[in-house]
């Protein structure tokens, strides 16, 4: 017989893997950045009971609140001039024009929020455009 703690840990791991799978499927054309010197999209959702340490930050929060802010930042770009276009899950263009953007979310009654924010940055010298994306997961059941 499994203990309640073991069952909860298994449920949390299953939920985390499901969220990770959603994030990788939601933006199939998104560049898959690796930590290190490659460009990546950092994200942090606050308030949060966990730190956003590490190269990718923390794009989830289960901390109880009525509103949340997700901060995004394109990191590790080579020196140069870039233009940025930020969009959300619905394809709406967000009002951000630099390598940083934020989105505010309101938590629904008993439900969670899932959104994917993408940025397409274009190297103005070469015309090469690259898209990065992150999935935000807030509240709701694990």
In a domain, 88, yes or no: yes
- In a domain? residue 11: no
Does 81 fall in a domain?
A: yes
For residue 72, the enclosing domain spans 40-138
Contacts from 30-34 at CB under 8 Å and sequence distance 24+? 30/118, 30/131, 30/132, 30/133, 31/130, 31/131, 31/132, 33/76, 33/132
Whether 21 maps to a domain, the answer reads no
Does pLDDT of 105 surpass 70?
yes
Mean pLDDT, all residues of the chain: 77
Burial class (CB in 10 A: 0-12, 13-18, 19+), 137: buried
Q: Using one digit for the tens of pLDDT, what is the confidence trace for 70-87? A: 999 999 999 999 999 999
In a domain? residue 2 = no
* 19 falls within a domain: no
Q: What is the pLDDT of residue 5?
A: 37
Residue at 106 is within a domain: yes
**Cα first-last separation, the chain:** 22
The answer to whether residue 98 sits within a structural domain is: yes
* Number of domains, the chain: 1
**Residue 76: what pLDDT?**
96
CATH number reported for the structural domain that contains residue 91 in this entry: 2.60.40
């Amino acid at each position: 017989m499994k203990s309640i703690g073991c069952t909860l840990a298994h449920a949390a791991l299953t939920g985390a893997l499901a969220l990770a799978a959603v994030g990788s499927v939601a933006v199939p054309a998104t560049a898959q950045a690796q930590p290190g010197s490659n460009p990546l999209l950092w994200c942090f959702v606050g308030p949060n009971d966990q730190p956003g340490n590490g190269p990718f930050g923390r794009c989830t929060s289960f901390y109880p609140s009525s509103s949340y802010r997700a901060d995004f930042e394109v990191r590790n770009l080579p020196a140069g001039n870039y233009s940025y276009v930020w969009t959300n899950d619905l394809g709406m263009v967000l009002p951000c024009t630099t390598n940083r953007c934020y989105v505010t979310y309101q938590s629904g009654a008993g439900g969670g929020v899932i959104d994917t924010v993408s940025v397409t940055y274009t190297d103005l010298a070469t015309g090469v455009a690259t898209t990065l994306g992150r999935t935000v997961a807030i509240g709701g059941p694990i």
